[in-house]
Chain A
Amino acid sequence: EVQLVEFGGGLTQPGESLRLSCAASGFSVSDNYMNWIRQAPGKGLEWVSILYSAGSTYYTDSVKGRFTISRDNSKNTVYLQMTRLRAEDTAVYYCARGGNWFDSWGQGTPVTVSS
């Protein structure tokens, strides 16, 4: 069974850093396209970043230069390193699999950026 479990979210201050983790089971993250998608409180879905199976990475403009997606194949885990956090980064962050549509999602981990 495919499963994604995110953790690492929490309350942090503007300008600080946070690393999110997404532990996968039932498939290999190295063989799949993996994404981070976020949802601000009461808002819609916003795609944040993708890591291709070949290793390429892409980001939405608002996080370029601040967020980094990576993976550890030995742990079958995908990460999102978030730096210079802003209030507008406050959201539930979901890990999702897919290169076109997103067929599997984790339960999400909440990130709150506030002073």
Chain B
Amino acid sequence: DIVMTQFPDSLAVSLGERATINCKSSQSVLYRSDNKNYLAWYQQKPGQPPKLLIYWASTRESGVPDRFSGSGSGTDFTLTISALQAEDVAVYYCQQYYSTIPYTFGQGTKVE
């Protein structure tokens, strides 16, 4: 199984400041045949289900604010919130779909 490790486990960011979350996979999730990184990011607010933010490592889901951006390739990825808003307080998860059975998630990063 591909192990996804996020860091930090939590971070405190002032409103309007940048938040950076890192995700590292135990093996590359870059598929050479299509040159795509098989990685997604989710946001989960308390008491709510996860919400898809980004797929293919850097493609924003429809309706996601452009202050959210994803980057990285291979085994190292980053989710950046350019200017934190109050409504962005949540836990963020990365997920790989390179090896689909099983799909695996990072342990989560709490942004407060």
Mark A residues whose CB is within 8 Å of B.
35, 44-47, 50, 58, 60-61, 94, 96, 99-103, 105-108
Q: Are A44 and B49 in contact (CB under 8 A)?
A: no
- CB contacts under 8 Å to A, within B73-104, are 93, 95, 97, 100-104
Q: Are A108 and B55 in contact (CB under 8 A)?
A: no
- Size class of the contact patch on chain B: 20 to 34
Mark B residues whose CB is within 8 Å of A.
38, 40, 42, 48-52, 55, 61, 93, 95, 97, 100-108
Q: Are B95 and A101 in contact (CB under 8 A)?
A: yes
List B contacts of A99 (CB < 8 A): 100
Q: Are A58 and B101 in contact (CB under 8 A)?
A: yes
List A contacts of B105 (CB < 8 A): 44-47
List A contacts of B97 (CB < 8 A): 100-101
- Asked, given contacts A47-B105, A58-B101, whether A100 binds B38 with beta carbons under 8 Å apart, the answer is yes
Q: Are A107 and B49 in contact (CB under 8 A)?
A: yes
**In the complex, given contacts A58-B101, A100-B97, A101-B95, what are 8 additional A-B residue pairs having Cβ atoms less than 8 angstroms apart?**
A44-B93, A44-B108, A45-B95, A96-B49, A100-B40, A101-B40, A101-B52, A102-B52
CA distance A69 to B55 in the complex (A): 25
- Kindly name the residue among A50, A61, A102 whose own CB sees the greatest number of chain B CB atoms within 10 A: A102
CA distance A78 to B77 in the complex (A): 33
Q: Are B52 and A45 in contact (CB under 8 A)?
A: no
- Asked, given contacts A45-B105, A108-B49, whether A103 binds B93 with beta carbons under 8 Å apart, the answer is no
List B contacts of A100 (CB < 8 A): 38, 40, 55, 97, 100
> Which of B38, B49, B93, B107 lies in contact with A106, CB distance below 8 A?
B49
List B contacts of A61 (CB < 8 A): 102
CA distance A101 to B104 in the complex (A): 11
